Amino acid sequence: MTTSQELKMKGNWNELRGRIEEHWSQLTSSDLDNLEGRKDQIVGKIQQKTGETSQKIEAELNHLLETVCNSAASTTEKLGQTVQNAQEHLNQASQAARQQMDRMNDSIQQGYQQAEETVRKHPTESVAVAFGTGLIAGVIVSLALRR
């Protein structure tokens, strides 16, 4: 077995172990303990329990490993797509929030400009309204403090 296959077996051992246990039901969980990714020992243990040839066992192990690796690659690809979709939604939400903030800022600016224009056109009335508002606020605060 190549070093690449050994690394794949060790990297995907938990899932591969489950597939091995499913395929060779004669094996118990304890039969596979301490064999993590060591193909020769795995083949020997399966051969001992089933009587199958080592070539047949190795071919089936290679097939199971390929299935596990393809499943892992598919999962990784799906995860990448999910992350990309999340980033796109986040960008859209960020852009919508920015647009809403710009609209609110424009509205505030327009209100400020209208108030400034009103004060310029009607300075006496504006001072009177401000004085009256202050007077009413003062009365309300003093009544609230008395209680």
Token output for 71: 């499943």
Torsion over CA: 106, 107, 109, 114 (sign): positive
pLDDT at 45: 80
DSSP 11-68: HTHHHHHHHHHHH-TT--HHHHTT-TT-HHHHHHHHHHHH---HHHHHHHHHHHHHHH
Q: What is the pLDDT of residue 135?
A: 94
- Output the tens digit of pLDDT for each of the chain's 147 residues: 456 666 677 677 777 778 888 888 787 777 777 676 677 788 888 888 888 888 888 888 888 888 887 776 777 787 888 899 999 999 999 999 999 999 999 999 999 999 999 999 999 998 999 999 999 999 999 999 998
pTM strictly above 0.85: no
- What is residue 97's predicted lDDT score, i.e. its pLDDT? 95
Tell me which residue has tokens 């118990």.
Answer: 28
Residue ranges making up the domain that contains 14: 3-146
Residue 86 three-state SS:
helix
